Structures are given as C-alpha cells and as structure tokens.
Amino acid sequence: MEIDSASELKSQYPISYADAFCVVTVQKYKAKVITGDPEFKAVEKTIPVVWTFTFPE
C-alpha cells in the first residue's frame, strides 16, 4: 500500500511526506522524477532523478 511505503520512506530519508509519495509512485510505475527540489538528493540512489539544474559545489 502506498501510504505504508511512503511512511516508511519518510522515516528513512529527510524528505517531505509529499515527496515520499512521489518516490513511491516512481518506484511503482518505474518512472523518473524530473525536479529541481534538492530534497530528492537524499533518494537519488534509489530512484532515477532528472535534475532541471546542477547544484553548486
């Protein structure tokens, strides 16, 4: 169930609950996230993320 999966993800990574649902949806549909939200850096090793910009080093 998506709610359980999102809750578990939220407890493991410093992301918002809404972003956790996004990650669960991406995993379910084998999709990609296209974003500029830096919170997704925490989960980019678990899902494919396409960045709309590059982060300053």
- pLDDT digits over 18-42, tens only? 999 999 999 999 999 999 999 999 9
More confident residue, 1 or 38: 38
In this prediction the pTM is 0.86
Residue 1, pLDDT > 80, answer no
Residue 8, pLDDT > 90, answer yes
Q: What distance in Å separates the CA atoms of residue 8 and residue 37, rounded to the nearest whole number?
A: 20
In the numeric block, which tokens belong to residue 43? 């989960």
More confident residue, 19 or 55: 19
Q: What distance in Å separates the CA atoms of residue 17 and residue 46, rounded to the nearest whole number?
A: 16
Residue 56: pLDDT band (50, 70, 90) is confident
Orientation of helix 2-12 relative to helix 17-29, angle to 10°? 120
3-state helix/strand/coil string of 32-46: CEEECCHHHHHHCCC
